[in-house]
Amino acid sequence: SQTIHQWPATLVQPVGSPLSLECTVEGTSNPNLYWYRQAAGRGLQLLFYSVGIGQISSEVPQNLSASRPQDRQFILSSKKLLLSDSGFYLCAWSVLGYGGYTFGSGTRLTVV
Amino acid sequence: AQTVTQSQPEMSVQEAETVTLSCTYDTSESDYYLFWYKQPPSRQMILVIRQEAYKQQNATENRFSVNFQKAAKSFSLKISDSQLGDAAMYFCAYRDTGANSKLTFGKGITLSVRP
């Protein structure tokens, strides 16, 4: 069966420090991968999506970047965190053009 | 661009009773998918139910059912026999059938269940 792993679960980082959040999927090949951010317990904002290795599309210009070095690995990064980067980050995967997304358990990021 | 609207930010229901959560969407597509996701306090996003637009029959999953009105672009979720564990945020979402289509979420509704 397919599973998605996301870590860390919680992260507290100082302003100006780098960030690396990792997401991996098991049990499927060539998934579409997504990074979402949820601020203040409300709606989900799509940050990045990827349809294949090295293929990244950005939805919102910001302080973050994403990479997909392997088929089932998706990484969210920042060189220098801002206070406004605080939030809950969710990784998700889907099969091409079919059905909903399956989400990871999320990372709660607090920038102090 | 497709939009999903959940106009009620909060609702409350008595345990064991029925509640309906509303959702409307806007699209020019004729075939697409609609979803309801649940986000409990753990913040894990859980798929509750899915509806394919080409199917006229409303989807059901145990105590959860939808009222899909394609012409009105309405997609409401009915929760029967509400339980304390149903307390969560619920998100309505839309996705068209394109190979690289993306899921568009509403802003969510917070459902509380009174014991």
Q: How confident is the model at residue A76 (pLDDT cuts 50, 70, 90)?
A: very high
Q: What is the pLDDT of residue A95?
A: 76
Distance CA A74, CA B41 (A): 25
Out of B42, B44, B103, name the one closest to residue A100 (CB). Answer: B103
Q: How many beta-carbon pairs under 8 angstroms link A with B?
A: 54
Contact B23, B74 (CB under 8 A): yes
Torsion sign across C-alpha atoms B106, B74, B84, A99: negative
pLDDT at A33: 94
Confidence band, pLDDT 50/70/90 cuts, at residue A43: confident
Has residue A28 got a pLDDT over 90?
Answer: no
For the residues A4-20, what does the mean pLDDT come to?
A: 95
**Out of A41, A100, A105, closest to residue B44 by CB:** A105
Q: Is B3 exposed, middle or buried (0-12, 13-18, 19+ CB in 10 A)?
A: exposed
pLDDT band at A97 (very low <50, low <70, confident <90, very high): low
pLDDT band at A61 (very low <50, low <70, confident <90, very high): low
Sort out which chain A residues have CB atoms less than 8 A from B42's CB and list them: 105
Give the position of tokens 């601020």: A39
- The pLDDT tens digits of the residues spanning A79-89 come to 999 999 999 99
- Condensed to tens digits (0 to 9), the pLDDT of residues B7-64 reads 999 999 999 999 999 999 999 999 999 999 999 998 899 999 999 999 989 999 999 9
State how far residue A65 is from chain B, nearest Cα, in angstroms.
19
